[in-house]
Amino acid sequence: MTNSNNPQNRSASIRTRECRRGKLRTETHGRDDGSFNVAVTTNPQTDATRLFIDTPEGNTYSFDGRTARTLYRALQKHYQFTGKAI
């Protein structure tokens, strides 16, 4: 997704925390308006994980843990293949 007005997200970070409901959450934080946001939650009682991607257009995509792991592994393998560090 490229845009001539592409935000730089210089103040952005990724943080981890425990939600009010006890789920463990890793999420993007402080991203510029017009950026996508990502969050991953795991319920420590059930070990269920979900990946959420919120787009600037207002769409939210949700993936179960198996799909999230497949995306992670594909990206990891691709970056290794291209010689780029993750």
Q: What is the DSSP letter of 4?
A: T
Q: What is the DSSP letter of 26?
A: E
Note the pLDDT of residue 19: 95
Q: What is the DSSP letter of 55?
A: -
What is the pLDDT confidence band of residue 4, given thresholds at 50, 70 and 90? very low
> What tens digit of pLDDT does each residue of 37-85 get?
999 999 999 999 999 999 999 999 999 999 999 999 999 999 999 998 7
Note the pLDDT of residue 71: 97
- Predicted TM-score (pTM) of the model is 0.82
Note the pLDDT of residue 10: 87
Tell the residue number behind the tokens 């952005």, with chain if given. Answer: 12
